[in-house]
Amino acid sequence: MSVIVKENVQETATSFIAPYVEAKYNAQHQVVEYKWIGHVKDQDAYTAFEKILNLCKKHKAKNIIADVTAFQGGSVQAAKWSNDVWSGQLAEAGIQKLAVNLPKSAFGEFSLKISLGEKFLAMMKVEKFTSLEQAYIWLAKKD
């Protein structure tokens, strides 16, 4: 397995790890998981969105788990871009379900409302959870 390391970023065929995000393809569950870490700058968010999309396409994933339990903030512009642009890119890549693992706080719910607007909700099934176990159970259910 080859690992590319550039400025505190590691990338393999199945993962992308940076100080602000960790993303990987989970072959057992056939899902792309990503976790935001700390405060995320705009360019870092756009880079992560691109890398996550590439993982989805490469592995033909149908589902995503977004873990925002360690997220501490980012720009409204990047969050809106996620809803307005990235949601369409994910839908075109075949993503059908998005499970979001939220912290048990009002902050998580607030940040989610900005980034997961009407476009996301129109293009795929989205559910919120407070544990990864609950998210996996929901993703495994046949609709």
Distance CA 90, CA 120 (A): 9
The strand pair at 4-6 and 9-11 is best described as antiparallel
Name residues whose C-beta falls within 8 Å of residue 37's C-beta, 6 or more positions apart in sequence.
19, 20, 21, 22, 70, 71
Domains of the chain: 4-140 (3.30.750.24)
Distance CA 109, CA 38 (A): 16
pLDDT digits 0-9 by tens, 103-134:
766 555 555 655 666 666 777 888 888 899 99
User: What is the pTM (predicted TM-score) of this model?
Assistant: 0.87
pLDDT digits 0-9 by tens, 8-60:
788 899 999 999 999 999 999 999 999 999 889 999 999 999 999 999 999 99
pLDDT of residue 6: 54
Cα 66 to chain center, whole Å? 4
Distance CA 130, CA 23 (A): 19
